[in-house]
Amino acid sequence: MTELARTRPESFFADRFNVTRSLLERVLGSNLIGRADDADIYLEYRVNEELQLEEGTVKKASRHVSQGAGVRALSGTRTGYAHTDDISLQNLEEAARQARAIADRASTSGVVAVPSRGRPHDLYALAEPPLATDLARKLDLLRKVDGAARAADPRVTQVIVSLTSEEVVTLIATASGWTVGDVRPLTRLNVTAIAEERGKREIGAHGGGGRVALDFFLEDERWRRFAREAARQAVLKLRAVDAPAGTMTVVLGPGWPGILLHEAVGHGLEGDFNRKGTSAFAGRMGQKVASELVTVIDDGTIPNRRGSLNVDDEGTPTGRTVLIEKGILVGYMQDRLNARLMGMAATGNGRRESYAYPPMPRMTNTFMPAGEDDPEDIIKSVRRGLYAVSFGGGQVDITNGKFVFSASEAYLVEDGRVTSPVKGATLIGNGPEALTRVVRVGRDLKLDEGVGTCGKEGQSVPVGVGLPTIRIDDLTVGGTAV
């Protein structure tokens, strides 16, 4: 599949499907321009490879190809969307007619989309994308990870290692005459370890990746660290005590616990919910929604990160959007539709899972910049509380602002010291309030390892998060120890 990486999207679709730029312009022109406020055609070709090692042998090897085109027409608040997995002129014309039907039922708003401009970034050009890497090298990596996880502790009884690699070629043509493509590599190495002792079993997992080459996992023996982390977490949990229940001080470790930002404020600051007035943050622009120690940024331009994009799925170059500055709400994340309807600028956050879905405002890499405190001092400042360093998933109810995220590795803090590990527990809070109780921010900002996938209205997209060590007072911890 090396041909994907080396080609330009425009010639890729022209060669493979006879769909040229002028043909796209013709489909847009004859069907959509002048009849809608905005319109676009999105072409996608995706190859995905999954390799899995279990019980020390390669159990699963699979390769998947998916391709398709989505045609969208927008009029006022209306969206017509049609997609097909057969990229041909005839199907594009048919999709355009179907998408247009909705526009024909409405009068156009007269507010025409501002053309997307600006140069696409170049954030993840790889000499050799993982999909093109020799299979033997990838299998060798999996075997090494398996061996390292098993060697880490005799209590490890089961190890599952998987490597998924993907390459997506896209081409987006908009009614404003802007055609832009992107080639997006993405890879992830994941290790799951099961540990057993005296009839008790526990699970630990670690992984990472990004828009990177296979060598990423070899640098500084990153693969070995992943393996050891998964094993360590599984073994540690064997002696975990019941998590406490109730409201207490919580210290979040750096990196992946940044999922807090994603759930507590990120989703609530996506343009669609704010335009509709259904977000707990609606109408709060310019107001204080966090402590003055807190700044939150969404940045799709960090090289090689899992959540980064050269252009979003509407062709708008991604950017760095400050959402909260020193506690004050200052920005939303926008796609073209919601930016147009709110009279704001598109921020390069229009994303979709695949050609089968219309885009909507989504996060890229969401993080809190470093503060000034020594992380150790932050823990020392807590008399009784929870120190959480790793999490599973999270979820938020946009409208009432309540969010949860589930700790997979956490410890009690007693008199300023980290003591017993506790069983997994869900943390729950209220988005517009939780960050007002951030009282300490560490100087140790870390981005996550590259594992995040965000789901919204049935669409999954890769994202990143980042956080320094922080202390939040009065968060509810959902354990069983009353």
| Chain residues 237-276 in contact with other proteins, contact rule CB under 8 A | 243, 245-247, 276
Give the C-alpha distances (Å, rounded to integers) separating 14 from 71, 86, 125, 181: 17, 14, 21, 12
Stretch that binds other proteins, among 4-12, 65-73, 292-300, 439-447 (CB under 8 A): 65-73
Q: Determine which helix (DSSP H) or strand (DSSP E) holds 215, and give its type and residue range.
A: helix 215-218
Q: At what angle do helices 222-238 and 135-152 cross, to 10 degrees?
A: 40
122 or 277: CB nearest other proteins: 277
- What residues from 31 to 50 belong to the interface with other proteins (CB under 8 A)? 50
Of residues 137 through 176, those in contact with other proteins by CB under 8 A are 139, 157-158, 160
201 burial via Cβ count (<10 Å: 0-12, 13-18, 19+): middle
User: Given the complex with other proteins, which of 190 and 310 has the nearer CB atom?
Assistant: 190
Binding to other proteins (CB under 8 A): which residues in 320-339?
none
Say whether 211 sits in a helix, a strand or coil: coil
Closest approach of Cβ 421 to other proteins, in Å?
13
In sequence order, which residues have a C-beta less than 8 Å from that of residue 21 and are 6 or more positions away?
10, 14, 173, 179
Task: Report the distance separating Cα 207 and Cα 218, nearest Å.
Answer: 13
Segment 412 to 451, residues that bind other proteins, using CB under 8 A: 423-426, 428-430
Handedness of CA 348, 265, 356, 359 (dihedral sign): negative
Does residue 57 touch other proteins according to CB under 8 A? yes
Kindly tell me which of 121 and 155 has the beta carbon lying closer to other proteins. Answer: 155
Q: Does 101 bind other proteins (CB under 8 A)?
A: yes
The three-class DSSP label of residue 44 is strand
Binding window for other proteins (CB under 8 A); candidates: 166-174, 190-198, 212-220, 304-312: 190-198
Near other proteins by CB under 8 A: residue from 28, 180, 269, 280: 280
Structure tokens at 212: 């990177």
By beta-carbon proximity to other proteins, the closer residue of 133 and 310 is: 133
What angle do the packed helices 21-31 and 89-104 form, to 10 degrees?
A: 30
In the complex, minimum distance from the CB of residue 426 to other proteins, in angstroms, rounded to a whole number: 4
Instruction: Give least dist CB 229 to other proteins, A.
Output: 17
Region of 283 (left: φ > 0; alpha: ψ -120 to 50; beta: rest) is: left
User: In angstroms, what is the minimal distance from the CB of 163 to other proteins?
Assistant: 13
Is 475 in contact with 430 (CB distance < 8 Å)? no
SS3 content of the chain, % helix, strand, coil (to 5): 25, 40, 35
Q: Which is nearer to other proteins, 74 or 445 (CB)?
A: 74
Residues that bind other proteins (rule: CB under 8 A) add up to a total of 80
* Contacts for 444 with CB less than 8 Å, ≥ 6 apart: 254, 370, 375, 468, 469
- Does position 95 bind other proteins by CB under 8 A? yes
DSSP single-letter state for residue 267: G
Which residues 193-232 are close enough to bind other proteins by CB under 8 A? Answer: 194, 196, 201-203
* Strand partners for 324: 296, 329
What residues pair up with 161 in beta bridges, in sequence order? 53, 191
Q: Are strands 459-467 and 365-367 parallel, antiparallel or unpaired?
A: parallel
Q: Confirm or reject binding of residue 61 to other proteins (CB under 8 A).
A: yes
- Of 5, 20, 29, 54, the one binding other proteins (CB under 8 A) is 54
CB of 295 to other proteins, least distance (A): 25
What residues numbered 382-401 form the site for other proteins, per CB under 8 A? 392-400
Phi then psi for 309, rounded to 5 degrees?
-145, 145
- Does position 60 interact with other proteins (CB under 8 A)? The reply is yes
The interface region with other proteins, picked from 55-63, 118-126, 314-322, 435-443 by CB under 8 A, is 55-63
**Closer residue to other proteins, CB minimum distance, 97 or 225:** 97
Stretch 109-128: interaction string toward other proteins, x if CB under 8 A: --------------------
Min dist CB 375 to other proteins, Å, is 26
Residue in 21, 29, 93, 98 binding other proteins, rule: CB under 8 A: 98
Q: Which has the closest alpha carbon to 472: 423, 406, 408, 428?
A: 428
Angstrom distance (rounded) from CA 268 to CA 266: 5
Residue 460 and residue 393 in contact, taking contact as beta carbons nearer than 8 Å: no
* Least distance from other proteins to the Cβ atom of residue 201, Å: 5
